[in-house]
Structures are given as C-alpha cells and as structure tokens.
Amino acid sequence: MAKRLQFNSSFTPDGASPKQKKELQRASDPWSRFNHCKHQIVRPRDLPSILGISRTTCWRLSKDPESGFPKRIRLTSGCVGYYLNQLLEWLETRQVLD
C-alpha cells in the first residue's frame, strides 16, 4: 500500500518561488479549491469532502424528494454537478446531534 505524502502548512522550503508557496498552501488545505466562489459547480466525486457523506448517500438523498437535497444540474449528456452555494445551504439546515 502506497503512503500518501502529507504536507505541513507551516513548512515552506527556503528559496521557494511565490508560485511554489501557493501550490504548497493549496495542497495542505483541501478546502482551498472551494473557497473562492460560492457559485462554483461541484462534481459528485467532490461531495464526500464537502458534506462528509459518501457518494452513494448523496445519490440516495438526491433521489428522495423529501430530503431537500439540492437538484443536480446537467452539464453535458454524461456529466452532472451541483451548485456549491446550494450544497452549503442544505448542509446548514441539517440538525446537529449532541
């Protein structure tokens, strides 16, 4: 089994260019690709990292009209996505259990 390389956000190699520093920061923060625009379209493969539930659960929720899960949008004949702002609004409506 291959080990994943983990980045420490406080680590910056000496002499790194600004572009390299930005790439290191982006690699250390998985949310950084979603922070710049709330009207961004998110693909189903990215849903687990945003919502904390599996792709299968997202699919089940999208098929259940009572769940209130955001509607997917068709991008091409074989490609769908979701608006990030709708996903975040849906996530905020979920009940927090103690």
- What's the pLDDT score for residue 7? 45
Per-residue burial over 12-40, b if 16 or more Cβ lie within 10 Å, else e, is: eeeeeeeeeeeebeeeeeeeeebeeeeeb
**pLDDT in single tens digits along all 98 residues of the chain:** 555 544 444 455 567 777 776 666 665 555 555 555 657 899 999 999 988 899 999 999 999 999 999 999 999 999 999 999 899 889 888 877 76
SS3 49: helix
- What's the pLDDT score for residue 39? 77
pTM of the complete model beyond 0.85: no
- What's the pLDDT score for residue 57? 94
- What's the pLDDT score for residue 70? 94
Closest to 21 measured CA to CA, from 11, 31, 32: 11
